[in-house]
Structure 1
Amino acid sequence: MSSLKPAWQKRDTGLTVRMIFSFAILTVLYLVFLSVLSYLGIGYIPIILIASAMILAQWYFSDKIVLWSAKAKIVSREEEKDLHEMIERIVARNNLPKPKIAIVNTAMPNAFATGRGQKSSVVAVTRGLIDILDEEELEGVIAHELTHIKNRDALVLTLASLFSTVAWYLMQFGFYGGLYGGGYGYSGRDRNGGGAMLIILLVAMLTWIVSFLIIRAISRYREFAADRGSAQMTGRPVKLANALLKISGNMKRIPNKDLREVEGLNAFFIVPALSGSTIGNLFSTHPPVEKRVQKLMEMEASMS
């Protein structure tokens, strides 16, 4: 009997190449950005240090902020025995540390993972999710979130966002400095004119826009990778596909008011909570559910 694994059980080379290519573009973009700042003589090092401190603080406290924003409550084994046992089975099979478990008391079906690393992670699920999914579908969703933790996706996206944050603050400082006439103390070659300021603003704006789009592409690739990881953990791609369809279908029944209240957490959710009017439909952090389901069903078909 052949010991070769089916293709979907192996690393997705194409997906890996796309992620590496995206990070390469991001790296080149940031190097150009810093080179332009250096050429113009702007004191960008203090700005980088300030932005780094802010983004690291955000990363350090992100789990608490996300749980507080989602109104999630950490639950003990005694409070949610079945959920704890399910997660214990998954992590035991895949040699992963057990995360903390949280419940969000809302009818909206969704789940997310947060935390700085595998040992400080939290997996949260909503009451609505537990109500609509069967046990194997729920396992697929939880395995998806555990894959995010295993791949350290929160850290990856935080680091990818670092210089995008720098560019954002440069735009803010440049705009308000120009607006009030004081500038922000750069020592460039064009001290007396507005030419250097205009170049800095344009380069910072271009850097932020392009990095914004690339980071969202990376985020979408990470979602495909987490779907694949879930299929590998459970061996049942079709169950996650069913879960995604149920979640997206039931999401349409949630009032727009409730969806807007949690849109700030869409980057964390397994399926974004998008109201019909949101600009997030154009710049989503997630691939379309239809494409995710298609890939999962292709994995399922390859098993037979």
Structure 2
Amino acid sequence: MAHSRFIKDTGLTARMTLVMFLLGALFVGLVVGLMYALPNYAFLIGVIGLGIAWFQWYNSDTLALKAMRAREVSPEEAPELHGMIDRLCAMADMPKPRVAIAYTDLPNAFATGRSPSRAAVCVTTGILDRLTAEELEGVLAHELSHVAHRDVLVMTLASSAGIVAGMATRGAQYGAIFGGGRRSDNNGAGAFGFLIALVVSLVVYAISFFLTRLLSRYRELSADRAGAFLTQKPSALASALTKITGEIAAIPTRDLRSAQSMNAFFIAPAISGATLSTLSSTHPSLEQRIEQLAKVSAELGRPMDGGFPSPGPEL
């Protein structure tokens, strides 16, 4: 974890560490299984899979900004936004990331980058138009917490088992159908090895998928808590989350689909008409987040003022 003044959350950190340990064990198990089932292909699959994960991590800031068609803005172009991030970075004792704006009505924000010194924070014009200064500050503190805690690195490592398992699944499907490219007298044994690899990879991919989503939800709760303690205004973040979630529901489905590849980065996923409390969700439910922020308010001796909009039915 990067050194900063963001508060540490021992409970959430312990849970995230446990999930990372399980994912690491899963990855080791997958590699060992592939070595037995596909001795001629396991090393190549592992190297290519890890290479893809490394590329995604190393270029995460560039890829994410391009995906949202965001543009980096200077202090002269967005003085209030830069000023707010300057203050929060000084409070958190962390390097200032690059600042970008995505020109879309979808109200959202995200942070990305392989390290605090190579990071970017992006907000949409939709969120700038809808939030008050205090609410936006809460959102930015949440995103800066992701940067300080190197969450892009954490999630990239966590996804490695799933990436390799997905590649192995495709390779095993191809090999089982075509006999693995072996001679006819060995086709039976070769196909059996590929079938074993297919089953193992599918199981590993499924487990990795749900564990990664669980880690992502813990990561969001941790960022909510850290950001709220930094600003000392948990009710402002609660209000922002409530507004963002409600406004996302009003965005046309076509526009939401075009942004869903960024859901793991967003402060609130671009989802409408689906529950956020399922095992496959990248984010905790709005109710969970509001409840945690209410606890932060109690710890700070500042009970929630109840001035933010009602969350209504969960999406």
**TM-score normalised by length of structure 1:** 0.90
- Residues 193, 124 of structure 1: alpha-carbon distance in 2 compared, 3 angstrom cutoff: closer
Q: Is the 8 A contact 1:190 1:196 kept in 2?
A: no
| Secondary structure in structure 1 of the residue aligned to 2:117 | helix
| Secondary structure in structure 2 of the residue aligned to 1:161 | helix
Q: Distance in 2 between matches of 1:42 and 1:178?
A: 15
Identity fraction in percent: 43
Counterparts of 1:129-278 in structure 2, within 5 Å, are 129-179=127-177, 181-183=178-180, 192=189, 194-276=191-273
- Residues 234, 120 of structure 1: alpha-carbon distance in 2 compared, 3 angstrom cutoff: same
Q: Which amino acid aligns with 1:62?
A: S
- Residues 118, 14 of structure 1: alpha-carbon distance in 2 compared, 3 angstrom cutoff: same
Q: Distance in 2 between matches of 1:64 and 1:28?
A: 31
Gaps of 5+ in 2: 1-5, 302-315
| Secondary structure in structure 1 of the residue aligned to 2:111 | strand
Q: Is the 8 A contact 1:108 1:128 kept in 2?
A: yes
| Secondary structure in structure 2 of the residue aligned to 1:115 | strand
| Structure 2 partner of 1:91 | 89
| Structure 2 partner of 1:64 | 62
- Residues 281, 65 of structure 1: alpha-carbon distance in 2 compared, 3 angstrom cutoff: farther
**In the TM superposition, what whole-angstrom CA distance separates every residue of 1:218-244 from its partner, at most 9, and x where no partner exists?**
011000111011012111111111110
**In the TM superposition, what whole-angstrom CA distance separates every residue of 1:258-290 from its partner, at most 9, and x where no partner exists?**
111101111110000113379996611111111
Gaps of 5+ in 1: 1-8
**In the TM superposition, what whole-angstrom CA distance separates every residue of 1:103-129 from its partner, at most 9, and x where no partner exists?**
111222110011111111110111111
| Secondary structure in structure 2 of the residue aligned to 1:122 | strand
Q: Distance in 2 between matches of 1:73 and 1:87?
A: 17
| Structure 2 partner of 1:31 | 28
**TM-score normalised by length of structure 2:** 0.87
Q: Distance in 2 between matches of 1:104 and 1:236?
A: 26
| Structure 2 partner of 1:77 | 75
Q: Distance in 1 between matches of 2:230 and 2:59?
A: 29
Q: Distance in 1 between matches of 2:22 and 2:161?
A: 13
Q: Distance in 2 between matches of 1:197 and 1:53?
A: 23
| Structure 2 partner of 1:5 | none
Q: Distance in 2 between matches of 1:195 and 1:279?
A: 40
| Secondary structure in structure 2 of the residue aligned to 1:267 | coil
Q: How far off is 1:190 after superposition?
A: 8.9
Q: Which amino acid aligns with 1:229?
A: A
Deviates more, 1:127-136 or 1:269-278: 269-278
Q: Is the 8 A contact 1:161 1:215 kept in 2?
A: yes
